[in-house]
């Protein structure tokens, strides 16, 4: 658990090179992780760490991982949205560390949407 603002800042600084602003090149894949209170309480910190690690492990330099606020699906936290260039965004719910790695490897790397985890509005 994050116990202080200083600890949160240290985590931010540790991943600053990977967690970039949303203003990235249009050809980049964006992975948004809901990091509002509901997401953090449900384990989003572990999910975003798993995504960042897997992106680095796979040497995916066209992927931007972004922390975002509440996406309105508190019941399905942690949530992860994948935005691929030229495609409709896909929002996944109830994501854990293993599912996060699968999203990077199957959806981001190979273009395979994992339908059983997709949230339908």
* Span 35-54, pLDDT tens digits: 999 999 999 999 999 999 99
Asked whether 22 and 65 are in contact (CB, 8 A), the reply is no
Mean pLDDT of 64-76: 93
Q: Which of 2-16, 68-82, 99-113 has the lowest mean pLDDT?
A: 2-16
Alpha-carbon distance of 69 to 8, in angstroms, equals: 15
pLDDT value of position 22:
43
Domains and CATH numbers, the chain: 15-117 (3.40.30.10)
pTM: 0.79
């Amino acid at each position: 658990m994050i116990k202080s603002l200083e600890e949160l800042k240290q985590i931010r600084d540790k991943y600053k090179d990977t967690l970039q602003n949303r203003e990235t090149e249009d050809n980049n894949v964006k992975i948004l992780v809901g990091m509002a209170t509901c997401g953090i309480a449900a384990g989003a910190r572990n999910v975003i760490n798993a995504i960042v690690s897997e992106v680095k492990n796979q040497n995916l330099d066209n992927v931007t991982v972004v922390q975002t606020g509440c996406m309105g699906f508190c019941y399905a936290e942690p949530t992860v949205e994948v935005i691929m260039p030229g495609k409709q965004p896909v929002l996944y719910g109830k994501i854990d560390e293993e599912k996060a790695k699968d999203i990077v490897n199957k959806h981001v790397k190979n273009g395979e949407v994992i339908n059983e985890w997709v949230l339908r509005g």
